[in-house]
Amino acid sequence: MTPLVFLYTAAAAWVAAALVGLLTARLPAGLLACCVLSALGGAAAAAGGGWSLVYGDTPVVSPGGPTVVGGPLQLQATSLAGVFTTLLGVVAVAIACYAPRYHPPSQGTSLYLAAYNGALLACLAVLAAGGMVTFLVAWETMSLACYLLILRHLRAEPVARGAFWFLALSEAGFLLVVAAFVILSSKTGFTTLAGIAAHAGSVPGGWRAAAFLLALAGFGFKAGLVPLHVWLPEAHPVAPADGSAFLSGVVVKLGIYGITLFAFRLAPPAGTWPGLVTMGAGAVTAAIGILYAMAERDIKRFLAFSTIENAGIIVTAFGAAMIFHAYRLQALWAFLLIAGIYHVANHGCYKTLLFLEAGVTEHATGTRDMDRLGGLIHRLPRSAVIAFAGTLGIAALPPLNGFVSEWLIFQGLFQGFRTGSHLTGILIVLAAGTLGLTGGLAIYAFVRGFGIPYLGMPRTRPAAAASEKGQPIVGPGLLAVACVALAVGAPIVLAALARAVRTVTGVTLGPLLLPGKLTVIPAHADFSAFSPTYLAVFLVCALAVPGLIYLAGRPRARSVSVPVWDGGMVSFRPRMQYSSMTFSAPTRVTFDALYRPSVSVTRPSDDDPAGRSGPVHYETQVTPVFQRYLYRPLVRCLEWLADLVRPIQSGDVNLYLLYVFAVILLAYFLGAV
């Protein structure tokens, strides 16, 4: 039984879910039915992905033969795509458990659910695509479906703008991806991905490099590489929470899947410099992503920038893998590929979880602004625990999954000295250093991202009145369990990934990755070793031991409970707490060359600078450097070009007839020649 059977089941379930959603989601029962079908599809997709990790690549099939409109539908379930498919399935199940309690049954919801299930189907088609045309059609369908997703609450103005950024950049990326595919397929003469991969030798080195760069940029738009990331912070806040979760958890990963295809499977470019470029792009993306995240008050924009950071980390790992391949260090090549894909799976789990929890917070309190929240750990206790699990994961703290995958990536990068080239070694070390900076800033950012809304005292009345009644728990809870499972079961996951990567790289990494039952080593036994399972067990015990000592030797004296020491002040007000911007102030001051903050202060009158006669208004904004210095000039340039060409469109029918005549003459002459 090939994995394709599971994928067909998933596709059928999602088609059914889309139809059911479209027709009946106005009623609660219909909404529930749609979500159940979506969950079934997710389970089937997860099963299919997991099975294809073990099974290997299936052959390319063309269901329906060559008669499908636009070209043959070519499907192939590959091991490499298996991880991404599993992630897609798990995310779909989690969101399906979350959606009934998040969306009210209405007309808007039915259209939304139809678009969402269509997007799920399109993502599955991208991952299962065996041929170029199928891939591109599925990719474009996915972009359009996600555009509709983002437009759920169309009436507000920022929604239209966010969705427009998404669509515009998706289309720009699509053009580049089409160009890359066309180069490869025209040079090899095949349109199936397997065919291109098998005949990659007939693509000359220069064309390979061109195709790779086009693919890096094109898929980089989707993956969120800087400076192509601009749609992420615009689109994520305005989409509904599960839509944002889906975008960050799956769609961004599809961009990364595309990069993996061109970097490892289809026609890997020769030489060191493609790997260096990729690694550099990834490192810069990671650093810039987390730096911008530090300056955000809106929880969803903050999480969007964190997605950019993680995409950067993954792409850095892939770039380093390509460099090791260029130096014939195949074990490290495969190892970093595994590490990168593992990070994809981990990030998918905890980022989706965090976005879903952001949605819960938004529903419970009515605001996404961190500075209006506070003390939610008392009001939304179970959501807070789940969000904490996600925060631990994304901050890469042991024993959770983020720590394991980042450890693997760092261990791979630290072995850059094995390349033997000084320059490359230094560049790899620089990338590792940038990732280290990113990791530290990520912990800082997520202490802020969890501490300000959840801990402390509520800063506003809606935050104090938040309640957990009717909020979805099972969906995010499933993802939290997945995070823990990915961490504790890391050896199993890594074994499966090693098998998947073997189909792409041909390197058997089993004994070089998992020598003992539960230990992981980074491809070389003399470098380091680590056991995630033992670490998890050890940490739990280490936390339990002081507890047991305390219980056993409890002090005999009577204990008194007194209030928290607050400096002796007579009353402690919520406004005395850290705000999100003061907490991140040290970073913003250090990196102000990047943020270029603009400050405006307005006073009631210049004679009274202390503001005694009225309030003083202070506002600071981070300058959007990419929009202002990259995109706006580009758009202006395009507008200028369009203005140049406008005279052709004079509106005069006679002129248009002249054009027709001129073109016919030209065609005649060309045909004659």
Partner 1 sequence: MTPEELRETVARQFGRSLHIRTLDTGSCAVCEQEIRLLAAPHYDLNRLGFFFTPAPRHADLLLVTGPMIRAFAPAARKTYEAMPGPKIVVATGACALGGVYPSDPFTHGTVEAVLPVDVWIPGCPPSPLALLHGLGVAVGRLAERVRDLPFTAPDHPERTRGDS
For residues 59 and 321, the answer to whether their CB atoms sit within 8 Å is no
Q: Is the peptide bond before 633 cis (omega within 30 degrees of 0)?
A: no
Task: Closer to partner 1 by CB, 557 or 660: give it.
Answer: 557
Interatomic CA distance for residues 123 and 141, integer angstroms: 9
User: Nearest distance from residue 553's CB to partner 1, in Å?
Assistant: 17
Cβ of residue 554: shortest distance to partner 1, in angstroms?
15
Closest CA to 195 of 79, 48, 76, 82: 76
Q: Which is nearer to partner 1, 542 or 569 (CB)?
A: 569
The H or E element containing residue 602 is strand 598-602
Helical axes 490-505 vs 28-55, angle rounded to 10°: 60
User: Tokens 């491809």, residue?
Assistant: 523
Residues lying near partner 1 in the complex (CB under 8 A) are found at 557, 560, 562-563, 565-566, 568-570
Nearer to partner 1, 565 or 669 (CB): 565
Which of 19, 588, 79 lies closest to 290 in space, CA to CA? 588
Q: Which residues pair with 618 in a beta bridge?
A: 601
Pick between residue 550 and residue 618 the one whose CB is nearest to partner 1.
550
Alpha-carbon distance of 553 to 546, in angstroms, equals 10
Q: How far apart are CA 620 and CA 295, in angstroms?
A: 11
Min separation Cβ 568 and partner 1, Å: 3
Whole-number minimum distance, CB 559 to partner 1, in Å?
10
Coil vs helix vs strand at 600 = strand
Q: How far, CA to CA in Å, does 36 sit from each of 40, 180, 184, 559, 627?
A: 6, 39, 41, 53, 41
CB of 565 to partner 1, least distance (A): 4
What is the bridge-based pairing of β-strands 617-621 and 598-602? Answer: antiparallel
Give whichever of 470 and 567 is closer to partner 1, judged by the CB atom. 567
Residue 562: CB minimum distance to partner 1, A: 5
Residue (of 184, 491, 442) closest to 291 by Cα position: 442
As measured in angstroms, the least distance from the Cβ of 557 to partner 1 is 8
Q: Backbone dihedral region of 567: left (phi > 0), alpha (psi from -120 to 50 degrees) or beta? A: left
Please, where are the H alpha helices in 380-457?
A: 381-394, 401-414, 422-454
Q: How far is the CB of 464 from partner 1 (least distance, A)?
A: 24
Residues 6+ apart with CB under 8 A from 518: 491, 531, 532, 533, 534
Residue tagged 């490869």 (tokens): 184
Give whichever of 570 and 648 is closer to partner 1, judged by the CB atom: 570
Which of 566/608 has CB closer to partner 1? Answer: 566
Whether 186 and 137 have beta carbons less than 8 Å apart is answered as: no
**In this complex, which beta carbon is closest to partner 1, that of residue 570 or of residue 670?**
570
Residue closer to partner 1 by CB (options 201, 563) is: 563
CB of 560 to partner 1, least distance (A): 8
Nearest distance from C-beta of residue 343 to partner 1, angstroms: 42
Helix (H, G, I), strand (E, B) or coil at 61: strand
- Nearer to partner 1 by Cβ, of 561 and 654: the residue is 561
